[in-house]
Amino acid sequence: MYRTISGILLSAGMWHFCSLARKQLDYLGFRITQNDIKPTTMNVKKTIDFPTPTSTKAAYSFVQMAQFYRRFIKDFASIAAPLNMSKNKNATFQRTRECQKSFDTLKEKLSQYPLLAFYNGKSKLKVKINTDASTTGIGGVLHQVFPDGHLQPVQYLSRSLSTREQKYSVVEKECLAMVWCIGKLRPYLYGREFTFVNSQVNNIHMAISSPFDSSKIQEQQQQDKTIKQLYDRLTSGQHHQSNVLENGILHKILHLPDRITVKLPYIPQSMIDHLLHAYHDSPTSGHLGINKTWHKIRDRYF
């Protein structure tokens, strides 16, 4: 193989372009070594020396130049969001504090010449993903974990949120970040175990397992006339085989085949729309069909 390639280069008069046994190589704007990759000094200097934008065109040009290295910068989309406003149709550039901070932060991040490790899929190193969401963007970072606990970043990824996505709740944005990052990192993750790290993991678990907290159900039950009547009968001492109070919440008792008994909380009329949205329209619901959504709700609420 070596003889074939060297023969072709020699016959084409391009042998002087070859380098052998190099410890590092600058290629297409990246400095590549045996273990890692980083931006080249020349390209970073061009970005750092870029003058402060005074127009939408200049702001757009700077973002386009900086985002060539976005895989090296954590939360690039969120940082660049103020400058990216210039992409909007009929947008007028305003040199705000947010724009200046975005400009300075991107320069600072690149001036540190961040390193990314080469992903070693054949090694037994553990893989960890950190995800996060802000009001304007979502992002994450893929790490490989070394035996001493050191985390080496392999890739940062991020994107801006659409106008509709910006209206999501905090939990919905965090879930969107997790799903999106898994999709983007699938070539690294497929067929191997990995760990997720997210600051909102407890809230996400609660949102997935139940869209309502018990205090909200209890409060709304007291404002529902029909449920309040059943509630008052039980609290006044009237026994009812089909209803029971647990932790201040009225439950329906259902007797299923095979002597299985379940207790389902009554859902007030005022919460039905929210319930349907939570089990069908939210990013964590799966957007199931009518029958599957109905069965999913029926198994949890009455």
Q: Comparing 25-34, 210-219, 247-256, which segment has the lowest mean pLDDT?
A: 210-219
Residue 261: the pLDDT is 78
The pLDDT value given to residue 204: 56
CATH code for the domain in which residue 78 is found = 3.30.70
pLDDT at 156 over 60: yes
The Cα 93–Cα 91 span in angstroms is 6
Per-residue pLDDT tens over the stretch 263-293: 888 888 888 887 777 776 655 555 667 777 7
pLDDT, tens digit, for every residue of 81-104?
A: 888 876 665 667 778 888 889 999
Domain that holds residue 153: 119-209
Judge if 33 and 72 occupy the same domain.
yes
One domain for residues 170 and 127 = yes
pLDDT, tens digit (0-9, with 9 covering 90-100), for 192-214: 888 878 766 555 555 555 556 67
**Cβ neighbours of 111 (radius 10 Å):** 12
Give me the number of domains the chain comprises.
3
Higher pLDDT, 210 or 8: 8
Note the pLDDT of residue 91. Answer: 65
pLDDT of residue 158: 92
CA distance 27 to 249: 65
pLDDT of 25 over the 80 cut: yes
Question: Which of residues 111, 143, 174 is at a domain's end?
Answer: 111
Residue 9 lies in a domain: no
Pick from 209, 233, 251: which residue ends a domain? 209
Residue 10 lies inside a defined structural domain of this protein: no
- More confident call, 82 vs 247: 82
Q: 275-283: long-range contacts (C-beta < 8 A, 24 or more apart)? A: 275/211, 275/212, 275/301, 278/211, 278/212, 279/211, 282/172, 282/207, 282/211, 283/168, 283/172, 283/175, 283/176, 283/179
- Per-residue pLDDT for 244 more than 70? yes
Average pLDDT for 93-116? 86
Q: What is the pLDDT of residue 181?
A: 92
Does residue 134 share a domain with residue 200?
Answer: yes
